Copies of this chain bind each other. A is one copy, B any other.
Amino acid sequence: MELEAYLKRRQAIINRALGKYLPSVQELPGTIHRAMRYSVLGPGKRIRPVLVLAACEAVGGKISSVMPAACAVELIHAYSLVHDDLPSMDNDDFRRGKPSCHKQFGEAIGILTGDALLTYSFQLLSSGNKPAGNGSASEVRLRVIGEVARAIGTQGMLGGQVADVEVTRRRSVKPQLLQFIHTRKTGALIAASVRVGALLGGASPKAYQALSRYGQRVGLVFQLVDDLLDRDGVVELSGEAAVRRQAERLTRSACAALAPLGRRGQPLMGLAEFILTRES
């Protein structure tokens, strides 16, 4: 299958770049660098950085110019998993088939590792090659930093996480609150990944708008499929069939939004399909 090959190639490039950008364990203080590498490297679908690269290419940008940003987005995802797994949060002992970060390194290092991944992602976003965008390169990069910070702040990923903590405490779920968690906890960073690739790839305003729409819809689908796989969240509220129909409708709408990009949008269509049909 063509998409599978595309995905494998992209994942390999990203894994190499992550290994290169993450601080080496030889560098002091070694413990935290080891814990950062432990939490990021190894298995992982790399959907967010793949979306950054694909959005960049869809507007004719070079992937070398977005690699630091693509890696930054993956480090942010890893930070969110490390903190989510902590005993006072989801209390998960395993992640991707091995002990979670705090199980391996202790709780204090677990907290600090998440902090370090988040901090380092902004260092990566502030550096990197010259982006291809219109306007000053620095302006584009600053805008990207603002976009990412908002997407993962209290109006985005963190807001979704806080609402999730509150829902768990209350043991009752209001549909509106669930919708809030949905659009923010996972969707915001997925959508931002697409916008980051578009901005750094030098998207025209029209192409940026198209990719923005695509990203927003794909972000929602990602979360709906999570709920379908876990049989919780909106699936408990609306039933499997209705949620699957919604996810399919949103995927079609995401692909339709790519029309202005012509053939260049094809890998993104494949990725939307992959996000809809994934089984883990």
Contact = CB atoms under 8 A, between A and B. Distances in A.
How would you classify the secondary structure of chain A's contact residues: helix, strand, loop or mixed?
helix
Contacts of A33: 154
Given A115-B114, A145-B145, A159-B28, A153 B120 contact: yes
Contacts of A119: 118, 149, 152-154, 158
A83 B88 CA distance: 13
A111 interface: yes
A270 interface: no
Contact residues on A (Cβ < 8 Å of other chain), bracket: 35 or more
A123 B149 contact: yes
Contacts of A262: none
A158 B127 contact: no
Residue from A152, A158, A162 whose CB has the most chain B CB atoms within 10 Å: A162
Given A136-B138, A138-B136, A146-B127, A158 B112 contact: yes
Contacts of A180: 28-29
Number of copies of this chain that the complex holds: 2
A150 B83 CA distance: 21
Interface string A76-110: 00000001001011000000000000000011111
Given A122-B149, A142-B141, A88 B115 contact: no
Interface in A26-50: 27-29, 31-33, 36
Interface string A9-31: 00000000000000100011101
A159 B113 CA distance: 10
A232 interface: no
B88 A154 contact: no
Given A32-B154, A115-B115, 17 more contacts: A29-B180, A32-B158, A33-B154, A83-B111, A86-B111, A88-B108, A108-B165, A109-B162, A112-B161, A116-B158, A119-B149, A119-B154, A120-B153, A126-B142, A138-B139, A142-B142, A145-B145
